[in-house]
């Protein structure tokens, strides 16, 4: 069972023992396509927006998920 949907993958894991923090860096598979969230059509990438989200702690370590979330350029609905 995959806990990350395609095309996402775990690109890196950074452990800061002194700061009691784990950062999980997510990435996308090369060549993956994007779908418009409104109509579902395949669209080219427009840009990415960096996002950081706190996840459940890993033992005593604060866990942060980091990803460059893409936006797509839909020919019918614009940038989404």
**Secondary structure class of 68 (helix, strand, coil):** strand
Exposure on the CB side of residue 49, measured as CA atoms within 13 A:
6
pLDDT digits (tens, 9 = 90+) for 42-52: 988 889 999 99
Q: Which residues contact 59 (CB under 8 A, 6 or more apart)?
A: none
Is residue 1 scored above 80 in pLDDT? no
Amino acid 32: pLDDT: 82
Query: Cα(40)–Cα(46) distance, rounded to whole angstroms?
Result: 16
């Amino acid at each position: 069972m995959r806990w990350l949907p395609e095309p996402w993958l775990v690109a890196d894991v950074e452990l800061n023992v002194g700061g009691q923090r784990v950062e999980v860096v997510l990435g996308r598979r090369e060549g993956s396509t994007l779908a418009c969230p409104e109509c579902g059509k395949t669209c080219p990438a427009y840009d990415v927006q960096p996002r950081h989200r706190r996840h459940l702690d890993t033992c005593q370590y604060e866990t942060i998920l980091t990803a460059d979330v893409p936006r797509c350029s839909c020919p019918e609905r614009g940038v989404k």
